Structure 1
Amino acid sequence: MAIINKNLKFLRTQKGLTQKQLAEKLGLKQAAIGAYEEERATPPLASLLDITKIFNVNLDALVSQDLSKVPEKERKASSIKQGKEVLAITVDSNNKENVELVMQKASAGYLSGYQDIEFVKDLPKISLPVLPRNRTYRAFEIQGDSMLPVQPGSIIFGEYLDDVAGIKNGKLYIVVTQEDGIVFKRVFNFADDEGKLLMVSDNRQYQPYSIASEDVLEIWTAKAFFSNQFPEGAPGNQSVSDQLALQIVKLQQELGGKKK
């Protein structure tokens, strides 16, 4: 019997559930559970994710380890960070990964549905041809003015980062946590110092703050952005348009001098 099928039967019987009871919890028919346990079928990803939640186990352990030989305490302890280990993705007709767009109005739902393939599948898709291929991207609409001159409502394209250890201090990231939601910040990794990440805004009117690295659900390295507004300068500085205007005036004066 394949390990995943064996584990499913072990977890179900250990918790004292019948096939019918487990099927009801998963929204499936009893026959499906029987097929899984008898190795006549393999649970799809969506069902596997539901199984990890019901039995409080790690997905990687569910599909690769004999859980009957793993102490229950260790199985539960290993499931704490399961949210970071599974990334729901979708592909197009050419088997190329889509770039899903998370708008502001969908940000609250994303916190509970980011692992749900059905939720992710329903997100709008967006494309940016200049992004390198064979990598996983997602786009997020940002809120607020904490990262000026990047304007509120801008779309940030992020490349998936599977471990906070890969953070490069001072670079821009989209960070997803249950407490803060989806934020766009410069991040400094102080994981060796009590496991903290320092979140810094480009708009200095906002104070830096720290979060626990273990609270991060997802992190995306900012690679590009789109905005329907031209960026203004940072608070207290000349805007880009002001600087361009001064350069044009200066150029006109120089040309006028040459004509004389």
Structure 2
Amino acid sequence: MQAKKSLNANLILKRLKKALQINTDIELSKLLDIKPNTISTWKKRDTLDYSAIISICNLYEIDLNKILSEKTYSEKTDNITLNNTPLIKREIQFEYCLGNEDLLNSLPQYHFPFIQSKISRAFEIVSNNMKPTINANSFVVCEITDIKSIEENAIVVIISKTKGLIINRVINDSPLENNFTLSNDNAFFRNTTIDSEDIKEIWTVKNILIRI
């Protein structure tokens, strides 16, 4: 599951070069520490390494909203509402799970055109338990939800009171009313169960910003 095609790779790369004040793909490839032909592949396939885009924007203090927005700010109309999605990188996930109320105010927040909810998060994935669907180091962009609204076999990020941040498919096949099976796409990992009382937050994965 990739970001929707409305995020055109050529347009994003053009905006990024403009923000970095460079003109060529070769210059951009050096800044991203990738091979020049990788950028050519991105353009051809209309896909990107969004983790690299986010990192370079953070490094050079570039407003990622201006890079990823479906329209430029001059093209937006008054009836378009921007969502602000905090980026929860691996380094701060433990603190996030502890419920630090001031943490969100200090995080970079981005607008993703494919997000409709006013409450959203982008989590960096640490484990390969959902590989090949989601690889470690990718980001998942999520909308807030509750356990009763989860569709069968949906991929979710759960903030657990006892286990911290976990990402799994949720399957309601337990004989106990409040227990749910957490299924992994990687056969190396065993499925487990979770009690709904152990869930602090639950987020539905809407898009995966894949790391190529």
Q: Aligning the two structures, in what range does the TM-score lie when normalised by the shorter sequence?
A: 0.5 to 0.7
Deviation at 1:188, TM superposition (A): 1.3
Quick check: 1:207 aligned with 2:190?
Answer: yes
Alignment of 1:79-228 (within 5 A): 96-113=82-99, 116=101, 118-132=102-116, 134-149=117-132, 150-161=134-145, 163-190=146-173, 193-228=176-211
Q: Deviations over 1:154-188 (max 9, x none)?
A: 10011100x21111111110111122211111011
Structure 1 portions without partners, runs of 5+:
1-93, 230-260
Whether the 8 Å CA contact 1:157–1:225 is kept in 2: the answer is yes
- Deviation of residue 194 (structure 1)? 4.0
The one of the two structures with greater contact order (alpha-carbon pairs below 8 A, sep at least 6) is: 2
Shift in Å at residue 205 of structure 1? 1.1
CA distance in 1, matches of 2:174, 2:196: 7
TM-score (normalised: structure 1): 0.47
Give aligned-pair identity as a percent: 26
The residue type paired with residue 184 of structure 1 is I
TM-score (norm 2): 0.57
The answer to which structure has the higher strand fraction is: 2
Query: Are the aligned partners of 1:164 and 1:189 in contact in 2 as well (CA < 8 Å)?
Result: no
Q: Distance in 2 between matches of 1:196 and 1:188?
A: 9
Aligned residues: 132
* Structure number having the greater helix percentage: 1
For structure 2, list consecutive stretches of 5 or more residues without a partner in the other structure. Answer: 1-77
Poorly superposed stretches of 4+, deviation over 6 Å: none
- Cα 1:131–1:215, aligned 2, differ >3 Å: closer, same or farther? same
Residues 192/168 of structure 1: CA separation in 2 closer, same or farther (3 Å cut): farther
The match for 2:24 is none
Contact 1:165/1:189 (<8 A) preserved: no
- Paired with 2:85 and 2:124, the residues of 1 have a C-alpha distance of 13
Instruction: Quote the Cα distance in structure 1 between the aligned partners of 2:198 and 2:187.
Output: 25
**C-alpha contact 1:191 1:213 (8 A) present in aligned 2:** no
Letter in 2 for 1:126: Y
- Distance in 1 (CA, whole Å) between partners of 2:97 and 2:161 is 6
* Bigger-Rg structure (1/2): 1
C-alpha distance in structure 2 between counterparts of 1:228 and 1:145, whole Å: 13
> Root-mean-square deviation (CA), in Å?
2.0
- Do the aligned residues in 2 keep the contact of 1:102 with 1:140 (CA within 8 Å)? yes
Shift in Å, 1:112: 1.6
